[in-house]
Every structure is written in C-alpha cells, then in structure tokens.
Amino acid sequence: MASVTLKLQLPRKRSEVSVDYPLVFQVVHDRKRRFIPTPFTLKEEEWNPQTQTAANFKASKVRSAYLKEVNVYIYLQKKQINSLIASMGDEESYTVDDIVSAYKRNKDNRRVFPFIRQLVMDLKMAGKPGTAYNYNSTFNTFCKFRGGEDLYFPQLNYGMVKDFENYLFSSGLATNTVCFYMRNLRSIYNKAIAKGIVSEHLYPFKRVTIKTEKTVKRAIDKELIYKLKVINLKHNPKLEWARDLFLFSFYTRGMSFVDMAYLKISNIKGDKIYYNRHKTRQLLQITLTSQIVEIINKYKAHRDSSGYLLPILKNDPWRSEYMQYKSALRVLNENLKSLGRLVSSPVPLSSYVARHSWATIAKKQGIPLSVISEGMGHNSESTTRIYLAAFDTSVIDQANDIVTNL
C-alpha cells in the first residue's frame, strides 16, 4: 500500500553553518519512491522526523508564524494526497508515478496566476466588467511585483502580502491606490477559499490592515456653476460637451458619471428619471426639471441613433460599453480641467466635483443633512441611504429646486 511521509532533503555533506533545506513529500508505493516538492524550506534543527512537524522554541515571532504555516500546509496536503490515493482504487492498478502525476494535475489548479485570469474572464462573462478590470489591474501589478513568476496559493503568505504592500508604497503610489490593490488581492484570495482552492487556515490577511485615507472633497460655489452655464462654448464642442455633462450631474443631485453613461430613454417614466446606482444598486428617482430636459433634448440625435440618453456610449460592435465608459470618463476629466482653467476655477474640475458641489451648496442653503446625499460627509453610504429612505421624494425634489436654481 502507498505511504506518504515528509523529509528534509539533506546533502550528504552538511554545512557547518545553519542553512535551510527543502521540505518534500516522500511517496512510496510498490517499493518505489518519488518526491513531491513543497514551497517551504527548513533548518535541520526545525524539523522533527518522528512527529512530522516543524518547531523551533527559540524562533522569533515571524519565524514561528512561518513554521505554523508549514505545519498547516503539511496537514492539508498530506490529507489531500492520501485522499487522492484512496480514490485511485485497487493499489495494483496504479504506480507511484500515477500518484505524483494525479497530485500535480490537481495542484496546478492552485496556482495564483491562472486562477486570477479565469476569474477575470468569468466576471466579464457575468456582465461585471468593472470588477474584472479592477482584478486584472491588480493582477498586472502583482505579476510585475513577482517578476512574472507564478506561485501557489499557500505561498501567498503574510510575509509576501506585506512585501507586496511595501513594493506598492515604494513605487510612489498614494495610500488609497495601495489600498485599492490590497483590497482586490484580498478579495481574490477570499474567492479562492470559497472555491476550495486554498484553506482558510492559511489566510494571510488576518494581521493586514487595509485602511484608506479620507480624500479632500472639492466643490465650487453657485456663482461659478452659473458662469459655467452661461459661458459661450459653441467654438469648442469638446468643452461644450464636458460642460453639459458636468451640469447634468449637478442638476440630477450629483449623479455619478457611470450612472449617466448607461441612462436610456426607458429610464424616463412620466416626469421622472428612475435608475439604479451602479455602486450600490439603490433605486433613485429624479424629477425632470427644465434644465435637465434642455440638456437631454440637446442631444436628441445621439439618443435616436444609440438609444442612450446622453452622448457618452454608442452602439459600437468593436468596443464594449465598459471600455467606452472608461475612455469617455478620461476624456471628460481632461476637458473639464481645461474648462476649469478657462473659468478660473479655484479647484481642478472633474466629474466628481459636480456631485460634491451639489451637496456643499445644499448644506450652505440650510437644507437638512438628512435630505442631502451626505455620502460626501458620511464615512458610509449606507447611513446616507437610511436617511434618504425616510423622506418623501417631494422633499428631495424641493431641495434639488433650491440648489439648482441658478
């Protein structure tokens, strides 16, 4: 019957200094033996061949954590190999090489890079291009950190996670950008656990704190928004387009650009726009004001040809809606920066400035915070949703009239 043990691969001539040796599984069947490598190395004094465990009572906290990780890995992998052998049936029907080959085929599914690539593809197929884009961006950055070298999930340990974090900071990235990559990597690992690819006992993020910094919120006053409204931009269609989308966001209580991009004529029912926020899936409704209708009617030709309410997305068989949206957002913000310089804006204009300006002006007008989308002041949008849900929509419509009355 096949047996599975572990051993350190020690050279015949030992070094006088303490060095690490590779830890391997030894599979014996029909008096033939083969070795299966593990991702770990140990010092000779850290390995107990009788108990088949790693231990060092004089080790530092970091080294002790590493040894604990080794023991968890040993337990799980040995259990998996024995289970694999049991599933192979009559012991005379397979060889020791069959055991090793079957294990390697199974283990290949535990590689990090192929798992992320497949996850990105699955998300795209599931109609979640935004998450797919974020995971792919994280994969590219992590791949660069690794120098293109793939690894198994058990190797993605606490030390490597912290090394990746340090790498991101040393690359000059802002704290919130570092948090973006770390959160995505954590999410990917969680999905691997959910799929049974790696054990939750190996979870490397328990002691990793991922905390974003509060960003400085930027807003412009009512006078500058009025200046944007009346400035003649007929000579510059790109700036006119950017201005119109900025004002549309402002008029619609700071509707985010992604929500504006996907608006269709079907979102208008009666005198209201109904839409679900992409970020939270919360259903919102906005009463159509004359200002909103004016912008919608201005781009009627685009709406008739594409079905989209605003000139952001179009029917393009060669480019996905998401890629069109990302490209349009980049162009919009570039044009808004130019527009900001033209009107001497004290802050660089961006699509988000319209959203924050609506809230800031509303606050100055004395409108209750519970009516405002104080997502601009709350740490959690769920708090804002609770506040807004308690109000009759007519109260919010009235607030919008006060804010956008230029």
The answer to whether residues 134 and 227 belong to one domain is no
pLDDT on residue 273: 94
The answer to whether residues 335 and 257 belong to one domain is yes
pLDDT on residue 317: 76
| pLDDT tens, per residue, the chain with 406 residues | 677 776 777 666 666 666 888 888 899 988 898 988 887 888 888 888 888 888 887 888 878 888 888 888 888 788 878 888 888 888 788 888 988 888 877 766 678 998 898 899 888 878 888 899 999 999 999 999 999 988 888 889 999 999 999 999 999 998 989 999 999 999 999 999 998 888 888 899 988 888 877 666 688 999 999 999 999 999 999 999 999 999 999 999 889 999 999 999 999 999 999 998 887 778 888 899 999 999 999 999 998 888 899 999 988 777 888 889 989 999 999 999 999 999 999 999 999 899 888 888 888 888 777 777 533 333 355 544 433 344 446 666 777 777 777 7
Question: What phi and psi values does residue 136 have, to the nearest 5 degrees?
Answer: -65, -40
Question: Which residue, 40, 74, 108, sits at the end of a domain?
Answer: 108
Strand 47-48 relative to strand 32-43, pairing: unpaired
Residue 216 in any domain: the answer is no
Question: What phi and psi values does residue 9 have, to the nearest 5 degrees?
Answer: -85, 95
The answer to whether residues 135 and 25 belong to one domain is no
Residue 212 in any domain: the answer is no
The answer to whether residues 184 and 133 belong to one domain is yes
| Cα distance between residue 320 and residue 81, in whole Å | 44
pLDDT on residue 332: 96
pLDDT on residue 107: 65
The answer to whether residues 249 and 345 belong to one domain is yes
Question: Which residue, 62, 91, 108, sits at the end of a domain?
Answer: 108
pLDDT on residue 178: 94
User: Apex CA 281: angle with CA 280 and CA 284, to 5°?
Assistant: 100
Question: Which residue, 108, 126, 161, sits at the end of a domain?
Answer: 108
| Cα distance between residue 145 and residue 67, in whole Å | 25
pLDDT on residue 380: 52
Residue 117 in any domain: the answer is yes
The answer to whether residues 165 and 78 belong to one domain is no
The answer to whether residues 103 and 117 belong to one domain is no
Residue 211 in any domain: the answer is no
The answer to whether residues 179 and 301 belong to one domain is no
Residue 13 in any domain: the answer is yes
The answer to whether residues 161 and 148 belong to one domain is yes
Buried-state track 41-55, b at ≥16 Cβ within 10 A, e below 16? ebeeebbeeeeeebb
Alpha helices for 231-371 (secondary structure H): 237-251, 257-261, 290-298, 300-306, 321-342, 351-364
CA neighbor of 203 nearest in space, from 62, 72, 37, 78: 72
pLDDT on residue 151: 87
pTM over 0.85: no
The answer to whether residues 259 and 146 belong to one domain is no
Residue 340 in any domain: the answer is yes
Strand 283-287 relative to strand 272-276, pairing: antiparallel
pLDDT on residue 210: 81
Domain that holds residue 355: 222-404
The answer to whether residues 120 and 66 belong to one domain is no
Residue 314 in any domain: the answer is yes
Residue 376 in any domain: the answer is yes
pLDDT on residue 226: 94
CATH number at residue 319: 1.10.443.10
Instruction: List the helix and strand counts (H, then E) for the chain.
Output: 15, 8
The answer to whether residues 181 and 230 belong to one domain is no
pLDDT on residue 385: 42
Quote the number of domains for the chain: 3
